Amino acid sequence: MVSGKIFQIVNGYTYGGVLKLKSCMRYRCTQGCGAILYKSFDGFLRDPVPVHHHPPPKLHLTPDGTYMITFGLSQRGGRILIFSGYSYSMQKFKNDYFYWRCTMVQPGTAKRCTAKLFTTLDYKVIDDVGGHCHKKPKFTKRNNKIVRIY
């Protein structure tokens, strides 16, 4: 069985980065806004739902309980994976997993964003590592293909 990170979805917002505390579990907003969710060990929310300063991510849950990913083209025509509004390019295939890296560059530098994504052979997301340091890219549809424009 493949295990990935544990995520919580509350009111459409996603929380990850779980940390076990003495009396509860702490989750942080996956969008990096600083909102923190506390859940007791029996699964109940300990505090009111935190306030976010952004809309919830647009995730499409499939009937089998996994999240849908889509594929598009980069500005140069390369294949990119789109998950949670961010684009990733495949870096390597190892041990029956695809290893993807964010396609964006950190603002004001020439360094690439450090966010990574791991998928199975059938493109089910196993894990996403690191936070994004930039806004989500914009996409458009050209000739029935999704193309990143920013």
Task: Domain 70-148: give its CATH architecture.
Answer: Single Sheet (2.20)
Q: How confident is the model at residue 3 (pLDDT cuts 50, 70, 90)?
A: very low
- Tens of pLDDT, residue by residue over 63-91, are 665 666 777 777 777 778 888 888 898 89
Mean pLDDT of the chain: 78
Mean pLDDT across the stretch 116-134? 81
pLDDT at residue number 70: 77
Alpha-carbon distance of 36 to 127, in angstroms, equals 20
Mean pLDDT across the stretch 113-121? 85
pLDDT above 80 for 101: yes
- Tens of pLDDT, residue by residue over 18-76, are 888 998 988 888 777 888 989 888 888 888 878 888 777 665 556 665 666 777 777 77
